[in-house]
């Protein structure tokens, strides 16, 4: 496979597990054992996807995410032993695209990578050539061709995963999308653990597009079912 993965992990046992898994699937990859090396490798090699541990010896992984997001939108999958919602929210708010908690199954890791690669393909193609390239809903505007999102004419930075989520909702305005449907569309699979992650993604997305994330006007929660984008009278 031509795509390159950067594995940032200081635990040799975990690094060897990931490396063996990637080798078995003939993925190209490089490894880094600390934050400085990770940033150097990211700049010099420009990987397609980063698998990032948060607990590195010289800097926190969240700081690495913030630095990379200053110049790149490459998919970043966090692979961490930190399992608290706050840790996930901090990483996703910083710009991570996905969060996998240790210990993890090899099959799930590979599934997350496949989703990341599909996400890259998605970003590199037109969203839908048969539909309008501009979506507007109240003060929300999505330019599908450029991949930009605006709220009240101010651009909002979204991670690739958040962008795909808002596009999915915008293409189904007024419809309740179930958790399973959303997970299958964005992750490609519907692991039970992903429902909690989906809630975290939705919380970070709302913080970025809603004036008051506690009282959202764009995205409505249907408890135990899923989410719906509400139609708002355009300005």
Measured between alpha carbons, how far is residue 231 from residues 136, 179, 220, 225 in Å? Answer: 10, 20, 11, 19
How far does CA 92 lie from the centroid of its chain?
7
What pLDDT is recorded for position 221? 93
Which residues make beta-bridge pairs with 148?
143
What pLDDT is recorded for position 157? 87
- Contacting residues for 74 by C-beta, under 8 A, at least 6 apart: 42, 46, 47, 48, 49, 50, 68
> What are the phi and psi torsion angles at 217 (to 5°)?
-110, -20
Q: In what order do the strands lie in the sheet with 76-80?
A: 28-32, 4-8, 49-52, 76-80, 98-101
- Cβ proximity of 36 and 61 under 8 Å: no
What pLDDT is recorded for position 194? 75
Q: Which domains does the chain show, CATH number per domain?
A: 4-126 (3.40.50.2300), 134-229 (1.10.10.10)
Distance (Å, whole) CA 105 – CA 213: 34
What pLDDT is recorded for position 190? 60
- Cβ proximity of 71 and 39 under 8 Å: no
- Cβ proximity of 175 and 185 under 8 Å: no
What pLDDT is recorded for position 128? 47
3-state SS string over the chain?
A: CCCEEEEECCCHHHHHHHHHHHHHCCCEEEEECCHHHHHHHHHHHCCCEEEECCECCCCEHHHHHHHHHCCCCCCEEEEECCCCHHHHHHHHHHCCCEEEECCCCHHHHHHHHHHHHHHHHHHCCCCCCCCCCEEEECCEEEECCCCEEEECCEEECCCHHHHHHHHHHHCCCCCCEEHHHHHHHHCCCCCCHHHHHHHHHHHHHHHHHCCCCCCCCCEEEECCCEEEECCCCCC
Tens digit of each residue's pLDDT, the chain (235 residues): 578 999 999 999 999 999 999 999 999 999 999 999 999 999 898 899 999 999 999 999 999 998 888 778 789 999 999 988 889 888 988 888 889 999 999 999 999 998 888 877 766 554 444 456 789 999 999 988 777 899 999 999 888 778 889 999 998 999 999 998 888 887 766 666 678 888 888 999 999 999 988 889 999 999 989 999 999 875 5
26: left (phi over 0), alpha (psi -120 to 50) or beta: left
pTM of the model: 0.60
């Amino acid at each position: 496979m031509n795509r390159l993965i950067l594995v940032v992990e200081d635990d040799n046992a975990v690094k060897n597990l990931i490396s063996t898994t990637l080798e078995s699937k003939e993925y190209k990859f490089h490894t880094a054992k600390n934050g400085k090396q990770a940033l150097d490798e990211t700049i010099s090699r420009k990987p397609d996807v980063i698998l990032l541990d948060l607990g590195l010896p010289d800097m926190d992984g969240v700081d690495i995410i913030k630095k990379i997001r200053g110049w790149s939108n490459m998919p970043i999958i966090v692979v961490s032993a930190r399992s608290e919602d706050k840790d996930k929210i901090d990483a996703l708010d910083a710009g991570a695209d996905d969060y996998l908690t240790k210990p993890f199954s090899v099959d799930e890791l590979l599934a997350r990578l496949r989703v990341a690669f599909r996400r890259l393909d998605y970003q590199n193609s037109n969203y839908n050539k048969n539909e309008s390239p501009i979506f507007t809903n109240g003060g929300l505007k999505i330019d599908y061709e450029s991949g930009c999102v605006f709220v009240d004419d101010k651009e909002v930075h979204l991670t690739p995963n958040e962008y795909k989520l808002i596009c999915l909702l915008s293409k189904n305005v007024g419809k309740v999308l179930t958790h399973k449907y959303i997970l299958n569309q964005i992750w490609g699979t519907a692991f039970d653990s992903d429902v909690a992650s989906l809630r975290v993604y939705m919380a970070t997305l709302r913080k970025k597009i809603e004036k008051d994330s506690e009282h959202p006007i764009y995205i409505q929660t249907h408890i135990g079912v899923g989410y719906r984008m509400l139609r708002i009278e355009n300005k």
